[in-house]
Amino acid sequence: MTDAESTPPPDASHARAWQILVACWLLATGASLGSLFFSEVMELPPCSLCWYQRIFMFPLAIVLLVGALTVDRHCIRYALPLAIGGWAFAAYHVLLMVGIIPESAAPCQQGVSCTEVQLELFGFASIPVLSLLAFTAIAAGLLLIKLRYSR
């Protein structure tokens, strides 16, 4: 009886896992389109660290789309490493911008500085902060499905 209370019935859990998956896909797609909007429409040049984050975010939008369409939770196997990799770059980038990591350690040379703030929404959300928030939410969602809804 206690078992039935703590774990939801299999159908419901399946539906909930899929909803979380769709939410993660929406975040990844929104972030990808957002970053394309910044670079292609607003013509803000992406710095090298932004490119590394894009390398992880763009495939997430595709992998999670396929996973959501085919209702295949195994897609988390492929998506989670991307989310964690992107999260690591975003975290590094934010630390760099805040100044916790000194700029001399920054990997940028020519072109666009990775520490120059090009855009700030609501007073705190620079582009790397938005990226870190998105990667955090996606990784958390995927981990939740993996730990909670997989046998």
Partner 1 sequence: MNKQKTVITLAIVLGVVFAIGIVVYRSITDAEVAKLIEEQPSVLVRASAKTRGAVDAKVHIVEFMDPGCETCRAFHPFVEQLLADNPGKIRLSIRYLPLHEGADVMVKILEAADKQGKYWETLHLMFESQPQWASHHHPQPEKIWPLLPQIGLDVDAIRRDMNAPEIDAILAEDLAAARALNIRKTPSFFVNGEPLRNFGYEPLRALVHGALAASY
Contact footprint for partner 1 (CB under 8 A): 18, 22, 25-26, 29-30, 33, 37, 41-43, 65, 68-69, 71
- With respect to partner 1, which residue has the nearer C-beta, 72 or 103? 72
- With respect to partner 1, which residue has the nearer C-beta, 29 or 91? 29
- With respect to partner 1, which residue has the nearer C-beta, 91 or 108? 108
- With respect to partner 1, which residue has the nearer C-beta, 1 or 41? 41
- With respect to partner 1, which residue has the nearer C-beta, 22 or 95? 22
* Shortest Cβ 145–partner 1 spacing (Å): 15
DSSP labels for 34-103? Answer: HHHIIIIIS-PPP-HHHHHHHHHHHHHHHHHHHHHHTT-TTHHHHHHHHHHHHHHHHHHHHHHHHTSS-G
In this structure, what token pair is assigned to residue 40?
């292609």
d(CA 106, CA 115): 8
* Shortest Cβ 61–partner 1 spacing (Å): 10
Cβ atoms of 90 and 126 closer than 8 Å = no
Q: Which residues of 95-104 are buried (b: 16+ CB within 10 A; e: fewer)?
A: ebbeeeeeee
Name which of 80, 109, 82, 106 is nearest 94 in CA terms.
106
* Shortest Cβ 29–partner 1 spacing (Å): 6
* Shortest Cβ 18–partner 1 spacing (Å): 7
* Shortest Cβ 8–partner 1 spacing (Å): 18
